[in-house]
């Protein structure tokens, strides 16, 4: 029994032949290898097109911005997994990626959806942002892309992305809306909220022509590189079991549970 809507049984990404590999209609060894950077190749794989120089620059920028943020729970889970099974590098990476939800990885995807919706509404950007932020606040929701437990009052990564977007002339409607939401958030919540890195990541990607559904791919790829770095360090300077011991020491045991 088929689940879901039927689709054509085809893929446009890659086909391997006895003497060559074709990727997105291009010869892997005769054309792509030695010519494209990995970032350019990632763009080609993701979209089917090679990026412009501006798109490549900002993909690199965003990947660097979001890759690493210290001993986050995703890195801790990966390191503890490798400590428990030193031969399972792939399992440790998977353990880290499985924890890459919006709390840890960021809300870039939700920011992209918010900005995409805002861009379809009539009115000036500030009025649109004010209305949407107030509605989210009134419903008891959280405004994606705002707030950070460490970076206050500004997230330096977010500010650097916005500055470079302005300097390189890519700040369009979505970057403008991101800034409008900063003002709207302060109005709706009655205090300034930190615009975290997720909002400008989404805004710049949308202004560069990426679809909202693709926005989350950037943080996932970036954090995979970070996980591999933590796991390489774990093999030479292991702290996985030390973190496990610290967790056990920090959590009190209470007999009987919730009874």
The model's pLDDT over 48-66, given as tens digits with 9 standing for 90+, comes to: 999 999 999 999 999 999 9
What does the pLDDT read at residue 148? 85
**Which tokens hold the place of 88?**
């399972």
Burial 209-247 (b: 16+ CB within 10 A, else e): ebebeebbbbbebbbeebbeebbeebeeeebbeebeeee
CB 155 within 8 A of CB 195: yes
Q: What percent of the chain has pLDDT over 70?
A: 97
If asked whether residues 57 and 120 sit together in one domain, one would say: no
- What's the chain's length in residues? 259
**Residue bearing tokens 């770095």:** 229
Has residue 67 been placed in a domain? yes
CB 224 within 8 A of CB 97: yes
* Number of separate domains in the chain: 2
CB 143 within 8 A of CB 133: yes
If asked whether residues 171 and 184 sit together in one domain, one would say: yes
Distance, C-alpha 26 to centroid of its chain: 28
Q: What is the mean pLDDT of the chain?
A: 92
The pLDDT-based confidence of 69 (bands split at 50, 70, 90) is confident
How far from 221 is each of 7, 74, 165, 194, CA to CA, in Å? 27, 14, 21, 25
If asked whether residues 64 and 142 sit together in one domain, one would say: no
If asked whether residues 112 and 209 sit together in one domain, one would say: yes
CB 108 within 8 A of CB 202: yes
If asked whether residues 201 and 167 sit together in one domain, one would say: yes
CB atoms within 10 A of CB 127: 13
Has residue 10 been placed in a domain? no
What does the pLDDT read at residue 175? 97
Q: Is the pLDDT of residue 259 over 70?
A: no
Domain that holds residue 187: 106-214
- Range from 3-7, 27-31, 68-72 carrying the lowest mean pLDDT: 3-7
Write the CATH number for 145. 1.10.230.10
If asked whether residues 210 and 233 sit together in one domain, one would say: no
If asked whether residues 197 and 228 sit together in one domain, one would say: no
Q: Cα torsion at 160, 166, 105, 101 (round to 10°)? A: 160
CB 92 within 8 A of CB 81: yes
Q: What percent of the chain has pLDDT over 90?
A: 79
CB 119 within 8 A of CB 174: yes
How far from 156 is each of 55, 119, 121, 148, CA to CA, in Å? 22, 26, 30, 11
If asked whether residues 173 and 131 sit together in one domain, one would say: yes
Tens digit of pLDDT for each residue in 155-212? 999 999 999 999 999 999 999 999 999 999 999 999 999 999 999 999 999 999 998 8
Has residue 161 been placed in a domain? yes
Q: How far apart are CA 148 and CA 250, in angstroms?
A: 24
If asked whether residues 196 and 117 sit together in one domain, one would say: yes
If asked whether residues 125 and 94 sit together in one domain, one would say: no
Which SS3 state, helix, strand or coil, does residue 107 take? coil
CB 130 within 8 A of CB 187: yes
Burial 149-164 (b: 16+ CB within 10 A, else e): eebeeebebbeebbeb
The pLDDT-based confidence of 132 (bands split at 50, 70, 90) is very high
């Amino acid at each position: 029994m088929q689940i879901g809507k039927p689709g054509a049984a085809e893929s446009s990404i890659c086909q391997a032949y006895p003497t060559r590999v074709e990727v997105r209609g291009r010869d892997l060894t005769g054309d792509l290898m030695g010519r494209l950077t990995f970032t350019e190749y990632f763009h080609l794989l993701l979209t089917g097109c090679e990026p412009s120089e501006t798109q490549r620059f900002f993909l690199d920028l965003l990947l660097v911005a979001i890759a690493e943020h210290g001993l986050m729970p995703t890195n801790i889970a990966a390191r503890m997994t490798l400590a428990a099974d030193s031969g399972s590098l792939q399992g440790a990476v998977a353990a880290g990626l499985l924890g890459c939800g919006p709390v840890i990885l960021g809300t870039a995807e939700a920011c992209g959806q918010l900005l995409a919706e805002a861009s379809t509404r009539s009115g000036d950007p500030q009025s649109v942002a004010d209305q949407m932020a107030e509605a989210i606040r009134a419903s008891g929701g959280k405004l994606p892309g705002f707030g950070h437990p460490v970076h206050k009052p500004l997230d330096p990564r977010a500010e650097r992305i916005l500055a470079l977007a302005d300097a390189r002339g890519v700040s369009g409607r979505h970057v403008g809306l991101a800034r409008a939401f900063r003002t709207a958030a302060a109005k709706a919540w009655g205090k300034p909220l930190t615009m975290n890195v997720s909002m400008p990541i989404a805004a710049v990607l949308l202004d560069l022509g990426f679809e909202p559904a693709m926005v989350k791919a950037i943080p996932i790829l970036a954090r995979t590189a970070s996980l591999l770095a933590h796991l390489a360090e774990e093999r030479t300077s292991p702290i996985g079991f030390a973190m496990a011991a610290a967790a056990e020491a920090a959590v009190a045991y209470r007999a009987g549970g919730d009874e």
